[in-house]
Amino acid sequence: MATSPSTRHKEQAGYVLHTYPYQETSLIVEMFTREFGRVPMVAKGAKRPHSPLRSVLMPFHGLTLDWSGRSDLKTLRSAEWRGAFRLLEHREEHHQTPWGTEQEFVYCLCSKEQAC
């Protein structure tokens, strides 16, 4: 049985849709990218006090992402802040829309690893 080589993606623009706690020091992060759509990733050590990922993994903040992996759950290698993003420009906060919150709307709209 042949295994496919690890896929590595560098300097991709993306946004955090949602984060979930994973084990003691990590997070599962649902990212949204223009090229790959919704991509679930594990951010290892992101809950540690001095982790460079801890301060940048916030919903709808623009990020430059590097990740790799062969399975459905990718490994986030790095994330750098690019600026805030607002799906609905006239809103000051993430309020409820007829579809739920803005994150839920994008999350439901896009399939995993398919450009939207």
Overall number of domains in the chain:
1
73-86: burial string, b at 16+ Cβ within 10 Å, e else: ebbbbebeeeeebe
64 is a domain residue: yes
pLDDT of residue 104: 62
4 is a domain residue: no
82 is a domain residue: yes
**What's the rounded Cα separation, in Å, for the pair 18 and 23?**
16
67 is a domain residue: yes
pLDDT of residue 89: 47
Any idea what the CATH number is for the domain that residue 56 is in?
2.40.50.140
Average pLDDT along the chain, 116 residues, taken 10 residues at a time? 67 89 94 88 94 87 90 92 59 49 60 60
pLDDT of residue 59: 82
38 is a domain residue: yes
Range of the domain at 56: 10-109
2 is a domain residue: no
pLDDT of residue 29: 93
Backbone angles phi, psi at 61, to 5 degrees: -100, 130
5 is a domain residue: no
DSSP-assigned letters across all residues of the chain: ---PPPEEEEEEEEEEEEEEEETTTEEEEEEEETTTEEEEEEETTTTSTT-TTTTT--BTEEEEEEEEESSSSEEEEEEEEEEE--SSTT-SS---BTTBSHHHHHHHHS-BT---
pTM value surpassing 0.85? no
